[in-house]
Amino acid sequence: MNHANMTNKGPETGAFFQRDREWHPQAFTPWYKTSVTRSPQRALLSMDNTLSEITGPTFGHNILGEHDNDLLINFAKPGETAIGPRIIVYGRVLDERGMPVPNVLVEFWQANAGGRYRHKKEGYVAALDPNFGGCGRTITDENGFYNFRTIQPGPYPWPNGVNDWRPAHIHFSVFGHGFAQRLITQMYFEGDPMIDLCPIVKTINDPEAIRGLTAALDMQATIPMDSRAYKFDIVLRGRRSTLFENRLEGN
């Protein structure tokens, strides 16, 4: 037994380090039209979570389906698979000290290889893939690692400007100690020229923050003749935390 790792301390739930507000996008950015109506009209207030917000529920592997982290087959017919470039996405969920965060529920959702989501209000005419649902989930292990298989999503147009397109991306949701502690972000792909053209990405002030949202191609983790691999670490808190779209004021 490793007594050096034993502790009676509870989980830390308060603010750890001073936030760098310049790291986060401004709430009001007119070139991203949605921000015009959603941005606060008054000064922001920072409030600690209540006890009911930071306690329960807990997540265990017994709530996961066998193929929840395999988007290639989790909605496919038996013997069939999703269409598109096959990839593995993996990484760690870390705190601002670089320490792993275990037993975190990570959810992910995305468009298909043609850039189309599977929902009723989708406005893009690209074809649906009947074998691709576009969503899944997993739980980080004791060292904070997660992984899942999927197809690389395609870019798609959106009605922000006359000819605006979203770069290929995967959405992530990370749950903490309670449902109120939920962080949502997007992962982009290394080398995609459309990242710099995206009005949403252009709201981010610091190029390093954009790089923190961009998964690195990792040829050492590929499966030969099968899947490429991308590495994406998520930092939950602190001065250089991953940018979370539902916590633009800082988390």
Could you give the CA distance from residue 71 to residue 50 in angstroms, rounded to a whole number? 36
Nearest 5°: the CA angle 115, 119, 120 is 120
Collapse the DSSP code of 64 into the 3-class scheme (helix H, G, I; strand E, B; otherwise coil) and give the result. coil
Q: Which residue has the tokens 């009605």?
A: 159
What backbone torsions phi and psi does residue 208 show, to the nearest 5 degrees? -65, -35
Q: Which residue has the tokens 């005419």?
A: 125
Best CA proximity match to 102, nearest among 93, 111, 110 = 93
Active-site positions read 117, 156, 166, 169, 171
Best CA proximity match to 231, nearest among 239, 221, 240, 243 = 221
Q: Which residue has the tokens 């997993």?
A: 138
